[in-house]
Amino acid sequence: MILTLAVSGYRSLRNLVAPLERLTVITGANGTGKSSLYRAIRLLADVAQGRAIGALAREGGLQSTLWAGPESFSKAMKSGEVPVQGTVRKGRISLKLGFASEDYGYAIDLGLPAQDATSMFNHDPEIKTEALWVGEHLRRSNELASRRAANVQVLAEDGTRRSVITDLPSFDSMMTHAADPRSAPELLAVRERMRAWRFYDHLRADQDAPSRHAQVGTRTPALASNGADLAAAFQTIREIGSPRELSDAIEDAFPGGAVDLHVNDGLFELVMTQKGLLRPLRTTELSDGTLRYLLLVVALLTPRPAPLLVLNEPETSLHPSLLPPLARLIARAAERSQVIVVSHARTLVDALEEHSGCASYELRKELGETVLDGCDAPKWTWPAR
């Protein structure tokens, strides 16, 4: 389980260090940084896939995602005695992401590249440093693997530090290029764990959504991020998961309702029976909210739980009456996976807060910076460049 999440220099997240629980709820008004925090976690996951640089490019590049305020705030600025203004920068421009779990921690520092007159990629960020350590806090004594510029070192069995790569390109992570079952098994283990994180952000339920149309069915232990394989994932739960939980979750939200699978020439499609109707409804006929709830049910009852499951505004399109059943569904999922829920729906947040072991934090803006209320920041140390 991840115990600490740290983000520095990303959009409105100037320096945020947050403790996480088995179930963590992040809420706040519009514009307080909820989406930025969600994107930061996704960006951290992209590192393990070798996609971090491309993900930043899709957001407009490093310059567009960096903290836009001053490097620090003086007491006079915070009190309003003087206007917020830039100061002489003392530190390097950087975007930092990291986490610490019960066994390992990892952090990455991205910065501006050195200009190269022969290259057309001078706006791509560079990976300046990375670190993997054992335990909750980074120290020199517990660092298992480190990357400084192009050099990657790992801790050998005899306690010495050995270079395994000396020419790692600035756009490649040691996560994807130095993870090795013999020389760096811990790096490999953490990489695979991060690759197994799952994100569901605005599952499509519009009339052109893939989940509304019949699809070729194969065993699907985890719902795709766009929900296209809904019917196959539903049937997989029925066969190798918990069909009782599946039917209970549907009954909880739609009393007297049931969902079944229709197969035609190998194409899978769900149909829903509702109380009072004389025929089942196809997914093309379901309301956006009903379909979205079914997508969330299948995502959360996966027979192959992820180490981390992140839901961004799962309440979208749902009627308020569906939020308590959704909260109960999320709480059950948190028994199998660590879950982070980003939401501004007070009904959903209140329902989740009733479950034991739930940590709930509210974001607010202070001089343009996202501040996390309701907790003390855990100890955190970034790796030095």
Q: Is the pLDDT of residue 359 over 60?
A: yes
Q: Which helix (H) or strand (E) holds 6?
A: strand 2-10
Q: How far apart are CA 35 and CA 228, in angstroms?
A: 24
**Residue 84: what pLDDT?**
62
Q: How far apart are CA 192 and CA 246, in angstroms?
A: 28
Encoded tokens for 44: 């951290």
**36 within 8 A of 11, measured Cβ to Cβ:** yes
**Residue 337: what pLDDT?**
97
**Residue 202: what pLDDT?**
80
Encoded tokens for 237: 């739960």
Q: How far apart are CA 378 and CA 16, in angstroms?
A: 10
What share of the chain in percent tops pLDDT 90? 77
Q: How many CB atoms lie within 10 A of CB 115?
A: 7
Q: Which helix (H) or strand (E) holds 300?
A: helix 288-300
Encoded tokens for 337: 């996976």
What's the chain's average pLDDT?
A: 92
Residue 271: which residues within 8 A CB-CB, separation 6 or more?
259, 260, 261, 262, 280, 281, 282, 283
DSSP letter at 363? E
Residue spans of the domains in the chain: they are 2-197+363-373, 213-305
**Residue 81: what pLDDT?**
62
Encoded tokens for 41: 């976690």
**Residue 189: what pLDDT?**
96
Confidence of residue 82 (pLDDT cuts 50, 70, 90): low
**Residue 133: what pLDDT?**
97
**155 within 8 A of 161, measured Cβ to Cβ:** yes
**Residue 30: what pLDDT?**
92
Q: How far apart are CA 132 and CA 138, in angstroms?
A: 8
Confidence of residue 85 (pLDDT cuts 50, 70, 90): low
- What's the whole-number mean pLDDT along residues 225-239? 96
Degrees, nearest 5: CA angle 16-154-167: 90
Q: How far apart are CA 319 and CA 321, in angstroms?
A: 5
**218 within 8 A of 201, measured Cβ to Cβ:** no
Confidence of residue 321 (pLDDT cuts 50, 70, 90): very high
- Backbone phi and psi for residue 262, each to the nearest 5 degrees, phi listed first: -115, 135
**Residue 93: what pLDDT?**
81
Q: Which amino acid is at 217?
A: G
Q: How far apart are CA 79 and CA 62, in angstroms?
A: 31
Q: How far apart are CA 58 and CA 165, in angstroms?
A: 29
Q: Is the pLDDT of residue 5 over 80?
A: yes
Q: How many CB atoms lie within 10 A of CB 262?
A: 14
With the CA atoms of 354, 103, 53 and 148 taken in that order, what torsion angle do they form, in degrees rounded to the nearest 10? 150
pTM, 2 dp: 0.93
Q: Which amino acid is at 127?
A: I
**283 within 8 A of 273, measured Cβ to Cβ:** no
Q: How far apart are CA 25 and CA 342, in angstroms?
A: 6
Distance of CA 50 to the CA centre of its chain: 16
**112 within 8 A of 121, measured Cβ to Cβ:** no
- What's the whole-number mean pLDDT along residues 257-271? 95
